Amino acid sequence: DQQVKQNSPSLSVQEGRISILNCDYTNSMFDYFLWYKKYPAEGPTFLISISSIKDKNEDGRFTVFLNKSAKHLSLHIVPSQPGDSAVYFCAASATSGTYKYIFGTGTRLKVLA
Amino acid sequence: ETGVTQSPTHLIKTRGQQVTLRCSSQSGHNTVSWYQQALGQGPQFIFQYYREEENGRGNFPPRFSGLQFPNYSSELNVNALELDDSALYLCASTIAGGVMAQYFGPGTRLLVL
């Protein structure tokens, strides 16, 4: 039972354009969501997070949008840069209890120069 | 650079053997989680330790066990290794009650033959 789904295994975008990565979840108890970026041979690096009390959080080129009614979140990267090429994971957590994250399967983003 | 280190980086074992993986968290991070990442999948939560006590467990059998020490280091032990245990093992640390983002180490890649 995949509670967090990233349905696009890969995405290619031209440098300077917007990258949109999507994530869906099924568990209504999730109230905290995060995006991680992972390069080969490295651990996931925290990018940005959002609490369920918000519908948008922005940090520089990265913006996360949360649509609770649709159980959907997205990560927007504007403008995309070649260094953004990596695998992106969304993760979800229920703040009551442990800091257990449920991860999606990842989307590989390739930004073309 | 997350300040979380793991050792060894790579390990080869045979089926039925036992393995110990190590993690050194950031100073002050009193919570450590371990994840298993199989090829092409997102990280899966194994368990979490808070102040040296297990504080939550995912769907992993008892042959996966752990320890957390007062010096912010921790161990993941796996007994009776199976071929399906071949994966990247990640530890992540955070401060309980603080910002929920977990900081991951680079991982240990385990191959079971």
Q: Which of A6, A95, A101 minimises the CB distance to B102? A: A101
Residue type, B25: S
B interface mutation test: which of A100, A105, A107 has the most B CBs within 10 A? A100
Taking CA atoms, what residue in B is nearest to A108?
Answer: B40
The β-bridge relationship of strands B44-50 and B53-57 is: antiparallel
Residue type, B77: N
- pLDDT for A97: 57
For B64-101, the pLDDT digits (tens) are: 999 999 888 999 999 999 999 999 999 998 876 555 67
Extract the residue ranges of chain A whose pLDDT is less than 70: 1, 95-99
Backbone phi and psi for residue A58, each to the nearest 5 degrees, phi listed first? -125, 140
DSSP strand E in B27-107: where?
Answer: 31-37, 44-50, 53-57, 64-68, 73-78, 87-94, 103-104
CA distance B58 to B56: 7
Whether the CA torsion B3, B33, A105, B11 is positive or negative: it is: positive
- pLDDT for B102: 84
Contacts of A54 in chain B (CB under 8 A): none
Contacts of B24 in chain A (CB under 8 A): none
CB contact under 8 A, B96 and A99: yes
What average pLDDT does the segment B1-11 reach? 89
